[in-house]
Amino acid sequence: MVQLRYAGLGDATAAFAALAPLRERLIGMQGTVRPFGPDYLILSAVVKALDTAAYHFTREPDFFALKPDRSKTGATPSDRA
Protein backbone atom coordinates (compact mmCIF):
# COMPACT_ATOMS: atom_id res chain seq x y z
CA MET A 1 0.00 0.00 0.00
CA VAL A 2 1.16 3.54 -0.68
CA GLN A 3 2.26 5.49 2.39
CA LEU A 4 0.71 8.96 2.38
CA ARG A 5 2.69 11.77 3.97
CA TYR A 6 1.47 15.27 4.70
CA ALA A 7 3.79 18.12 5.57
CA GLY A 8 3.88 18.70 9.30
CA LEU A 9 1.67 15.72 10.20
CA GLY A 10 4.28 12.96 10.36
CA ASP A 11 2.69 9.59 11.07
CA ALA A 12 -1.05 10.13 10.51
CA THR A 13 -2.00 6.86 12.20
CA ALA A 14 -0.21 7.81 15.41
CA ALA A 15 -1.54 11.36 15.26
CA PHE A 16 -5.16 10.23 15.06
CA ALA A 17 -4.68 7.39 17.53
CA ALA A 18 -3.67 10.08 20.02
CA LEU A 19 -7.05 11.77 19.41
CA ALA A 20 -9.06 8.63 20.21
CA PRO A 21 -9.52 9.52 23.92
CA LEU A 22 -10.87 12.94 22.90
CA ARG A 23 -13.39 11.29 20.58
CA GLU A 24 -14.46 8.92 23.34
CA ARG A 25 -14.98 11.86 25.74
CA LEU A 26 -17.06 13.71 23.15
CA ILE A 27 -19.30 10.67 22.72
CA GLY A 28 -19.62 10.48 26.51
CA MET A 29 -20.60 14.15 26.63
CA GLN A 30 -23.39 13.42 24.16
CA GLY A 31 -24.95 11.19 26.80
CA THR A 32 -25.23 14.11 29.21
CA VAL A 33 -27.26 16.42 26.97
CA ARG A 34 -30.73 16.26 25.44
CA PRO A 35 -30.72 13.78 22.52
CA PHE A 36 -30.78 15.55 19.16
CA GLY A 37 -30.84 18.97 20.83
CA PRO A 38 -28.40 21.70 19.77
CA ASP A 39 -25.67 20.60 22.20
CA TYR A 40 -25.95 16.97 21.09
CA LEU A 41 -25.81 17.93 17.42
CA ILE A 42 -22.68 20.09 17.73
CA LEU A 43 -20.90 17.30 19.63
CA SER A 44 -21.99 14.90 16.91
CA ALA A 45 -20.58 17.24 14.26
CA VAL A 46 -17.20 17.30 16.01
CA VAL A 47 -17.11 13.49 16.24
CA LYS A 48 -17.99 13.20 12.56
CA ALA A 49 -15.31 15.77 11.69
CA LEU A 50 -12.69 13.68 13.53
CA ASP A 51 -13.87 10.54 11.71
CA THR A 52 -13.71 12.32 8.35
CA ALA A 53 -10.27 13.78 9.00
CA ALA A 54 -8.95 10.39 10.15
CA TYR A 55 -10.23 8.80 6.96
CA HIS A 56 -8.74 11.57 4.81
CA PHE A 57 -5.26 11.24 6.27
CA THR A 58 -5.10 7.48 6.97
CA ARG A 59 -7.44 6.08 4.29
CA GLU A 60 -8.94 3.77 6.92
CA PRO A 61 -12.73 4.14 6.62
CA ASP A 62 -13.42 3.12 10.23
CA PHE A 63 -10.21 4.27 11.86
CA PHE A 64 -11.65 4.61 15.37
CA ALA A 65 -13.54 1.29 15.27
CA LEU A 66 -12.17 -1.76 17.05
CA LYS A 67 -10.64 -4.28 14.70
CA PRO A 68 -12.07 -7.83 15.00
CA ASP A 69 -8.80 -9.33 16.23
CA ARG A 70 -8.43 -6.63 18.91
CA SER A 71 -12.04 -6.46 20.09
CA LYS A 72 -11.62 -9.70 22.08
CA THR A 73 -8.91 -8.13 24.23
CA GLY A 74 -10.89 -4.97 24.95
CA ALA A 75 -8.23 -2.80 23.31
CA THR A 76 -9.32 0.71 22.41
CA PRO A 77 -8.33 2.67 19.30
CA SER A 78 -6.00 4.75 21.48
CA ASP A 79 -3.92 1.57 22.06
CA ARG A 80 -2.69 1.75 18.45
CA ALA A 81 -0.04 4.34 19.20
Q: The whole model's pTM is what?
A: 0.71
Q: Which of 54, 47, 45 is closest to 23 using CA atoms? A: 47
Enumerate the domain spans of the chain.
12-64
Neighbours of 12 (CB within 10 A): 20
> Is 45's pLDDT higher than 90?
yes
Q: Residue 11: its pLDDT value, please?
A: 86
Taking the C-alpha atoms of residue 59 and residue 64, their distance in angstroms, rounded to an integer, is 12
> Is 27's pLDDT higher than 90?
yes
pLDDT tens by residue, 48-81: 999 999 999 888 889 998 666 544 455 555 555 5
